Amino acid sequence: MTSTHQATLLPSDSAPGHRIHIDLHVHSNHSVDSVIPLRALVRCWERHRILPVVCDHDTLSGSLALIRALRGVRAGVPEIPAMEITTAEGEIIGLFLTDGIPPNLPAAETLDRIRDQGALSLVPHPFCTYRSRVLRPPVRDALAHRIDVIEGYNGRNHWDADNLAALEYARERDIPVSAGSDAHTPMELGRTYMALEPFTTPSEFLRALRSARIHFRRMHRGIHMVTRAVKMVRGRGRKRPIH
């Protein structure tokens, strides 16, 4: 990884054709701070064959809406219902969820509820130095043996060191790593994703992560100013999603 805004570890066109390209951290406009409509997410798959996995803040609705829409586009598209859950100690993503999980529970209980569904836990941007809802380091370390995935490549992290620290943390504990754009605007889609071997179950997905090929391109840090403005405007009236 370099200190520039773009660091392509493996160009998408060098990935074998049978692999599926997945951006494992995207927000739809079901999140109060995102302006990505459903049609833009569907277009990302149709045009670029990159599957955006929607992880909206404290709701499963956007993820389920995209899954329903993609079923009408092409059969056999992997389905990963997901959400980014606000716990009492920071954020945790649940993957392959069957039901939503309420916010503000202790992180340990959130992990219990994820596991009870046969789902997977992912800690996003674990070493980010400017986000306020990063999972607290003492809690992260105490629960590391229960975490399924560490986000090693987050397209919105300001500093390469934040991603590198996550990669080292995962390597030391033999935890699979993921890559996600953390997109909140359409311009971020298609920049960061993984090329994975085919999978059908959560356990197969975990194995596929071990051999994932990564395409990583970091956004300019100014994108967070856009997100803050969106959250301020939409948060006043919690506007309904625009499809």
In the prediction, which pLDDT does 17 show? 55
What residue has token string 């570890």? 9
All structural domains of the chain: 8-236 (3.20.20.140)
Average pLDDT over residues 215-235: 65
Output the CA–CA distances (angstroms, integers) from residue 197 to 19, 38, 100, 216, 219, in the order listed. 5, 26, 27, 18, 26
Please tell me whether residue 28 adopts helix, strand or coil conformation: coil
Res. 80: pLDDT tops 50: yes
In angstroms, the CA 88 to CA 139 distance is 10
When pLDDT is averaged across residues 150-173 and rounded to a whole number, the result is 95
- Residue of 195, 215, 186, 223 lying closest to 43 (CA atoms): 186
Percentage of residues of the chain with pLDDT beyond 70? 83
Poorest-pLDDT segment among 68-72, 89-93, 140-144, 158-162: 158-162
Mean pLDDT of 92-99: 98
What pLDDT does residue 220 have? 58
**Does the pLDDT of residue 140 top 50, yes or no?**
yes
Average pLDDT over residues 184-200: 94
Q: 38-48 and 61-71 helices cross at what angle (nearest 10)?
A: 50
pLDDT score of 74: 82
Output the pLDDT for position 225.
62
Higher pLDDT: 228 or 52? It is 52
Confidence category of residue 235, pLDDT binned at 50, 70, 90: low
Assess contact for 63 and 107: CB atoms under 8 A. no
Reduced to 3 states, what is the DSSP secondary structure of residue 155? coil
At 3 the pLDDT is 34
